[in-house]
Structure 1
Amino acid sequence: MNLEEISKLKPGDIIKLKKEHPCGTNRWELIRIGMDVKIKCIECQNYISLSRKNFNKSYKKTLERRPDN
């Protein structure tokens, strides 16, 4: 787990978690970051919320960064 990389995440980034979703994909869009983290599955569009602690344990890497405006 790279806390420095996690601290740079912004809503709209596409991330990869250690375990894949039951639909078979491992790509998630970051929707909200705070005390909890809300992410959306890219494949089936389902939303899940994770505690910050569980998100930090599950996070693997950033696949795409949201373009800065």
Structure 2
Amino acid sequence: MLDCDPYAEDPHPRMQVVSVAIVGDVWINHLDPDGLAVLAAKLRAQADRLDHDVRPQLLAARADWDARHSV
């Protein structure tokens, strides 16, 4: 969500920022363009890890389970 508080006493919140909902009502608030880029890179890296490392391990574990527990 794009946010701006033009009447804030502190000048920093007067600039446009982005807040990102992580899960439920957990938010990362007041990201500037650089902060948003850092978050995007971290999410991209996490997604790549899940796709390239964790998913193959999960598939292998499930195949091993099936091989050991087939009737």
Query: Looking at CA atoms only, which structure, 1 or 2, has the larger radius of gyration?
Result: 2
TM-score (norm 2): 0.30
TM-score (norm 1): 0.30
Structure holding more helix per residue = 2
RCO higher in 1 or 2 (8 Å CA, sep ≥ 6)?
Answer: 1
